[in-house]
Amino acid sequence: MYDMYRENILDHAQNPRHHGLLENATIDHEEDNPLCGDHIHLTLRVSEDGTILEAGWEGDGCAISQASASMLTEEIVGKTLEEVRAIDKQHIFDMLGIPLSMNRVKCALLSLKVLKVGAYGLADWQKMQDEEEA
């Protein structure tokens, strides 16, 4: 039953959506996952009222990390920063749709971390970590 999700992940990894960095981005942030060697650089163009008009990213690393970035950018374009703020880890797991080992979780969440830290600051991301551990 996971085949469909696996195929979707491979498709996103091989044909990434919104690939390529934006010029004059409103938000520009990058992060690494040293455990796997994944790297994601995300740029967003945000309107004055906080709507994400365009997203562009580049990165390298494993299929999970790259597919997650591709799917996430596809999902956030057209939404407001306020709406995007509600995206949590579970949302990413549901989006990928396959069971992930502990090591793979970091790969899957790298794009979300780049988005959250870039858009709302490191404190916001850390708060999410703390809330889940509590």
Query: Is residue 62 within the footprint of Zn ion (CB under 5 A)?
Result: yes
Among 31, 55, 57, 65, binds Zn ion (CB under 5 A): 65
Of the two residues 63 and 87, which places its CB atom closer to Zn ion in the complex? 63
Of the two residues 107 and 128, which places its CB atom closer to Zn ion in the complex? 107
Distance CA 73, CA 67 (A): 10
Query: For 36-117, where are the E strands, in sequence order?
Result: 38-46, 52-60
- Which residues make Cβ contacts (< 8 Å) with residue 34, sequence separation at least 6? none
Smallest gap, in angstroms, from Cβ of residue 46 to Zn ion?
28
Q: Which amino acid is at 85?
A: R
Strands of the sheet with 38-46, listed across from one edge = 27-33, 38-46, 52-60
Please report where in the chains the tokens 């994601």 appear, as a residue. Answer: 40
Among 36, 63, 98, 105, binds Zn ion (CB under 5 A): 36
- Which range of residues in 11-19, 44-52, 65-73, 79-87 is near Zn ion by CB under 5 A? 65-73
Query: Is residue 38 within the footprint of Zn ion (CB under 5 A)?
Result: yes
Query: Is residue 107 within the footprint of Zn ion (CB under 5 A)?
Result: yes
Number of chain residues interacting with Zn ion (CB under 5 A): 6
**Residue 49, both tokens:** 């009222």
Residues of the shown chain interacting with Zn ion in the complex, contacts defined by CB under 5 A: 36, 38, 61-62, 65, 107
